[in-house]
Amino acid sequence: LLAAGRKLGAMILTSEKPHEFSDREKRVFASLAPQIAIAIQNKSLLEAAQNRARREKILREITAQVRSSNDVDTILQIAAEQVGRAFGRPAFVALESAQKQNE
């Protein structure tokens, strides 16, 4: 299966009984292959667009929340929560005070 010059897979035809496909059957299957490849490619493109839209939404949410605060700790906490939500994993920020860093 080819779409836009890219190999997407193969269409394998089998039969439960010994069977030699007729020329007509071969033509039908051959005419279906490009349509199947385009459908697969379209699904892949749709999923990629949906993923991009999700990432953009998360970035907009983080930006809006970060802009609403002047406190660095709050900003970092918001960013960690949103990143964790985006990846479906817990995320946290550990901060050291400047005084502790100088010790």
3-class DSSP assignment, residue 6: strand
The tokens describing 44, both together, are 């892949």
* Rounded-to-integer distance, Cα 37 and Cα 9, Å: 8
pTM value?
0.61
Q: Which pLDDT tens digit goes with each residue over 41-94?
A: 999 999 999 999 988 888 888 888 888 888 888 888 887 888 788 777 877 777
* Rounded-to-integer distance, Cα 93 and Cα 71, Å: 14
